[in-house]
């Protein structure tokens, strides 16, 4: 189902006619309308379980002189490659020290290491002056550290540019336009709507109702997991039978 169909289903199942206009457009004047709950419901399902599309290999072409690449919908980065070279992951503090020490000697080339922007306190304290030197060297602003899932390289991407490939756990695509679809809306539309309804009830504080919705959603997710296990087991048996 596409977004406009999911929106109608959400309206009918939740009774929230105030969040969807008569022409099935989103009533974004009222707390963002139904689309807010639908997209939050999709992201909650992503966090609740692992599906076959959770882990994605995402290529992105970057231009000359690039230090920073952002992947806003990535949840957990497992591997980063620049062209065909896997880049080693280091801590942000270690990367800052390396770049600060090489200041004035930095050149373009395939990076040998990268760091993810800190989303929690650094294990190794860093002086404010080191931060300032680091940002000055890379011509970045401190706001970069507030951007989720940002990769900072140890050197600039070469003159010709490069293909940066990230293997990561991603959120499913957001539903924005009426015709948009994602994994949940296409494959499990009722489950997505139930999750969206759940999101709409969180603020109400109705714990009993939330518990019921959670139980029903978890039953569906457990059944999906059982199907995946069966598929994986069958594949393993087939592989063994080929030897």
pLDDT at 232 over 60: no
At residue 108 the predicted structure's pLDDT band, cuts being 50, 70 and 90, is low
DSSP letter at 120? S
**Separation between Cα atoms, residue 1 and residue 180, nearest integer Å:** 9
pLDDT at 53 over 60: yes
Domain boundaries, the chain: 3-52+176-241, 55-170
Do residues 158 and 110 lie in contact, with contact meaning Cβ atoms separated by under 8 Å?
A: yes
**Separation between Cα atoms, residue 50 and residue 229, nearest integer Å:** 12
Q: Calculate the dihedral angle through the C-alpha atoms of 30, 32, 38, 42, rounding to the nearest 10 degrees.
A: -150
Mean pLDDT of 199-207: 84
How confident is the model at residue 64, as a pLDDT?
78
Q: Which of 29-38, 54-63, 121-130, 185-194 has the lowest mean pLDDT?
A: 121-130
How confident is the model at residue 120, as a pLDDT?
54
37 versus 121: the higher-pLDDT residue is 37
159 versus 231: the higher-pLDDT residue is 159
**Separation between Cα atoms, residue 118 and residue 57, nearest integer Å:** 22
Q: What is the pLDDT of residues 77-98, one digit of tens each?
A: 888 998 888 999 988 778 877 7
How confident is the model at residue 28, as a pLDDT?
87
Average pLDDT over all residues of the chain: 81
65 versus 219: the higher-pLDDT residue is 219
In the chain, the N- to C-terminal Cα span, in Å, equals: 42
At residue 76 the predicted structure's pLDDT band, cuts being 50, 70 and 90, is confident
């Amino acid at each position: 189902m596409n977004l406009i169909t999911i929106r109608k289903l959400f309206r009918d199942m939740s009774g929230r006619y105030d969040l969807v206009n008569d022409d099935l457009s989103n009533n974004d004047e009222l707390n963002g309308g139904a689309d807010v709950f639908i997209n939050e419901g999709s992201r909650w399902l992503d966090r609740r379980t692992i599906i076959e599309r959770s882990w994605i290999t995402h290529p992105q072409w970057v231009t000359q002189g690039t230090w920073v690449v952002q992947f806003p919908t990535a949840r957990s980065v497992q591997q980063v490659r620049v062209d065909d070279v896997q880049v080693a992951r280091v801590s942000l503090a270690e990367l800052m020290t390396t770049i600060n020490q090489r200041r004035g000697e930095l050149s373009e080339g395939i990076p040998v290491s990268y760091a993810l922007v800190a989303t929690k306190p650094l294990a190794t304290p860093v002086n404010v002056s080191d931060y300032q030197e680091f940002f000055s060297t890379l011509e970045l602003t401190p706001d970069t550290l507030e951007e989720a899932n940002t990769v900072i390289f140890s050197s600039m991407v070469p003159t010709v540019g490069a293909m940066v490939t990230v293997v990561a756990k991603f959120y499913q695509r957001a539903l924005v336009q009426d015709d948009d679809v994602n994994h949940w809306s296409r494959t499990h539309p009722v489950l997505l709507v139930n999750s969206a309804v759940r999101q709409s009830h969180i603020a109400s504080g109705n714990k009993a109702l939330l518990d019921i919705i959670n139980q029903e959603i978890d039953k569906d997710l457990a059944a999906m997991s059982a199907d995946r296990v069966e598929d994986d087991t069958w594949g393993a048996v087939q592989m063994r039978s080929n030897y």
